[in-house]
Structure 1
Amino acid sequence: MTARATPLTWLGIARLALVQVAIGSVMVIMTSTLNRVMVVELGLAASIPGALVALHFAVQLLRPRMGFLSDAGGKRISWIVGGMTVVALSGFAAAGATVLLGTHTGWGLALGVLSFIGLGVGISAASTPLLAYLAERVEEKRMAGAAALFWILMIAGMIVTAGVAGTLLDPFSPARLLAVTGGVCGIALLATLVAVWGRTDGIVVNAFRGTSTPDGRTASFGDTFRAMWEDPQSRRFAIFVFVSMLAYSAQEIILEPFAGEVFGMTPGESTRVAGMQHGGALLGMLIGAVGASRFGTLPRWAAAGCIGSAVALLALAFMPSLGSVGGMKISVFSLGVANGVFAVAAIGAMMGLTVRGKAGGAGLRMGFWGGAQALAYGTGGFMGAALSDLARAFLGSPSAGYVLVFLLEAVLFVAAAGIVLSVQGTSRTRGIAPIRRGIALSEPA
């Protein structure tokens, strides 16, 4: 028989979400605040922080490996704390690298590269076991709500961190940067310890522990990863995650420039437009969480969010020709709502597929899909900016470049909707196959 740990209460889910808040708080310092300091205060090329951010996404391709190792050892809590420690140290080191860039560019770049590699490794080591731990301990009816709670608290934490850190950094000085960043990283690590205090790894049986191949040897990471990829349901969901997140991430980097170049908005006005999208996303998360818990299925809600995002992007693509600022704002808010519905339902579906059919291997499966998400994020932002620039150069119009990107994103969202509905179709007849390439995913006695 498979033993299951006691399901988490809403309070338990909220406490565990502190880890996600901690990760988001350090990320906003490293990917936003330090980005601005490098470009504005230090006068560096924007490509330098851009490359560092892309590097940390590339490193997150380690997520499947980290998930597999947390499966094999069964020590998810240790992985969460260890990973968050690396994240916190990397955040402080990145602040040091930023200060060093002002006087010793070479050494500063070297430390910056190491810091962002550390950020990618730490997020992979903490976030992947965290989501696997959550998936193993949340009742299916609460999965959408748990996903919404995790991401709403993370976004709220990022907003608070950005606001408080921005206030404390004025007037700017290298010493203030180190002090503020060190404080954020220290609080993030403390919040993680509070989140996992008193928690154990429980008695969830790990399906990948002790598995073997036909020749009798213990199954390696490569064996189990191939088994995962050969399962149609797992593979289709990974493709869905990649395609949908590619569209999602491509829009983020061009939205404010679009508002500024096409509609002549000031930086403050375009930032408020981006805030409307984030507000819509929070509303969409609540709609998705409540709706998915009452009727329908998570894949269908994810598909609905994708279709809604596509419709909003199509509307946004028509706004330059209409010259409607109000219409543009409504489209952006609607895009945020649809994005929120899609995000919550997709994460909830991911959690459900992680544990459905058997009790273990949750870390590898969560890492498998998390790696697809990281790859999409890393390429999506670059793709959105690059395609916009290329279209502008060849079509001779700033608005034409943005319109082309919005239309391509809409196509990607429609494709993602079809893919996730096909995942639902396969899940009705079979779960994630427990045996592939002769690897028996057996449970210990």
Structure 2
Amino acid sequence: MSLTWVQIIRLGFIQLCLGAIVVLTTSTLNRLMVVELALPAILPGLLVGLHYAIQITRPQWGYRSDTGRSRSRWIIGGMVILASGAGLAAYALSLFASHYMLGLSVSILAYVMIGVGVGASGTSLLALLATATDPARRPAAATITWLLMIFGIAVTAGVAGQFLDPYSHTRLMAVVSVVSFGAVGLTILSIWGIEAKVTARAEEQSAPFLEGLREIWAERKARHFTIFVFLSMSAYFMQELILEPYSGLVFHFTPGQSTSLSGAQNGGVFLGMVLVGVAGTALRLGSLRQWVVGGCLGSAAALLVIAWLGQIGPSAPLLPAVVAMGFFNGVFAVAAIGSMMALAGEGRTAREGTRMGLWGAAQAIAAGFGGLIGAALVDLARPVMGDADGFAAVFLFEAALYIASALMAARVIAGPAQPRLSTPLSVPGE
């Protein structure tokens, strides 16, 4: 039996919980360290990078969920570890003023736990979705889960910000505790009883982890898709640390305007995801491969426009170009997740969790690598080329990565055999 729409939405709430906790640790705590505690900006940057680096263990978590009798326990257990890490990270802020090294040590432990929790829970969740979702529903399932994650991030950031003013560490601990306990409770309620009602393959006996991973890497399609994930996600995250500085230095945006620009970009991402999951299904437009390729090429075109606008200067309409970039980012990202779910069960053995883990690790490494490389290239280019040309050169390089990703996606993602976005959404609960 496959997942019903209600069950898919319930699993999407787990993704919402992941996003809610992660945004506190990568955004809110980041700001508090730099502004309220006056710590070097590189410190939270390294801690966030650490949580991405730890997610290289995702294939191991996927393997464990493949070879166990239940993926649910890894989903719940990972969420508990993630929530505990978030609470520990918040507590560590109170230690920096009086015991800097102790605060740093506790923070390192906390972000290791955050990385482990995201890897264990997120990978097992995707594996469950991949094994138990009907192929025709995978695009919509990917859209639902990722939209709920974005919703969780947006709501948590907004509500938490309201309750943190005026700031005190007591308020911070209260907010983080409520979000963390709420996320664990909602995860348990969301997953409860689902796995027992669906066909979600799990191997009780399997080859050793490294042997299984080598077998998967030997599969041409799995290997090429891993490279596609790394290239496309490196491009996706490359502008993350440089877009707001670009708007300030070249277009003279104020800090408030730059923050609004980032929000507009995420609005574009949301619209792109909705198009693939809803409009694309209702209008019977395209296959997953076409959406991925189109999203990558559209993202590259938007980046070319953003680079060109820098030559015009402050009077240029940067906002629409950034919204367009976010829109195409959303199109390619959610279609890529749908393709990932479809490809997870292919190959000589199922091992959906291990495959999801491999691709999740590639995404996590790309997230840290892309942001770091983008910032480093801008630092190298600006003194030589000037602000506008220096940023433009990096955006052009990012566009080239998107084009390379589109070419690889066209080769690795199946065409006619791939489920098309043509099955109308059924009534929830069917």
- Identify the TM-score tier after normalising by the shorter chain: over 0.9
Mapped contact 1:81–1:192 kept (Cα < 8 A): yes
**1:160-194 CA-partner distances (Å, limit 9, x unpaired):** 11111111111111111111111111111111111
Mapped contact 1:136–1:359 kept (Cα < 8 A): no
User: What amino acid does structure 2 have at the position aligned with 1:204?
Assistant: A
Match of 2:248 in 1: 260
How far the C-alpha of 1:382 sits from its partner, in A, is 0.8
1:245 correspondence with 2:262: no
Mapped contact 2:89–2:110 kept (Cα < 8 A): yes
1:365 correspondence with 2:355: yes
Moved more, 139-148 or 322-331: 322-331
Mapped contact 2:339–2:413 kept (Cα < 8 A): no
After TM superposition, the runs of 4+ consecutive aligned structure 1 residues lying more than 6 A away are none
Aligned partner of residue 413 in structure 2, secondary structure: helix
1:278 correspondence with 2:266: yes
Match of 1:205 in 2: 201
Match of 1:416 in 2: 405
1:153 correspondence with 2:142: no
Number of aligned pairs? 415
Mapped contact 1:128–1:367 kept (Cα < 8 A): yes
User: What amino acid does structure 2 have at the position aligned with 1:404?
Assistant: A
How far the C-alpha of 1:10 sits from its partner, in A, is 1.6
Q: 1:21 to 1:428 in 2, by over 3 A?
A: closer
How far the C-alpha of 1:323 sits from its partner, in A, is 2.4
How far the C-alpha of 1:425 sits from its partner, in A, is 5.4
Q: 1:428 to 1:10 in 2, by over 3 A?
A: closer
1:192 correspondence with 2:187: yes
Unaligned runs of 5+ in 2: 419-430
How far the C-alpha of 1:358 sits from its partner, in A, is 7.3
Percent identity over the alignment is 45
Aligned partner of residue 195 in structure 2, secondary structure: coil
Provide the rounded CA distance (Å) in 2 between the counterparts of 1:285 and 1:179: 33
Mapped contact 2:226–2:358 kept (Cα < 8 A): yes
Give the TM-score normalised by the residue count of structure 1: 0.90
1:225 correspondence with 2:213: yes
User: What amino acid does structure 1 have at the position aligned with 2:413?
Assistant: Q
1:251-330 to 2 correspondences below 5 Å = 251-290=239-278, 292-293=280-281, 294-323=284-313, 325-330=315-320
Unaligned runs of 5+ in 1: 1-5, 212-218, 430-445
Mapped contact 2:287–2:415 kept (Cα < 8 A): no
Query: Residue 72 of structure 2 is aligned with which of 46, 57, 77?
Result: 77
Aligned partner of residue 273 in structure 2, secondary structure: helix
Provide the rounded CA distance (Å) in 1 between the counterparts of 2:87 and 2:168: 15
User: What amino acid does structure 2 have at the position aligned with 1:132?
Assistant: A
1:14 correspondence with 2:9: yes
Match of 1:443 in 2: none
How far the C-alpha of 1:276 sits from its partner, in A, is 1.2
Provide the rounded CA distance (Å) in 2 between the counterparts of 1:404 and 1:165: 37
Provide the rounded CA distance (Å) in 1 between the counterparts of 2:344 and 2:252: 46
1:372-387 to 2 correspondences below 5 Å = 372-387=362-377
Provide the rounded CA distance (Å) in 1 between the counterparts of 2:413 and 2:173: 48
Query: Residue 169 of structure 1 is aligned with which of 140, 164, 173?
Result: 164
How far the C-alpha of 1:327 sits from its partner, in A, is 2.6
Mapped contact 2:86–2:114 kept (Cα < 8 A): yes
**1:309-367 CA-partner distances (Å, limit 9, x unpaired):** 00000000000112264531111011011001001100000000012467831100100
Moved more, 79-88 or 417-426: 417-426
Provide the rounded CA distance (Å) in 2 between the counterparts of 1:129 and 1:48: 30
Give the TM-score normalised by the residue count of structure 2: 0.93
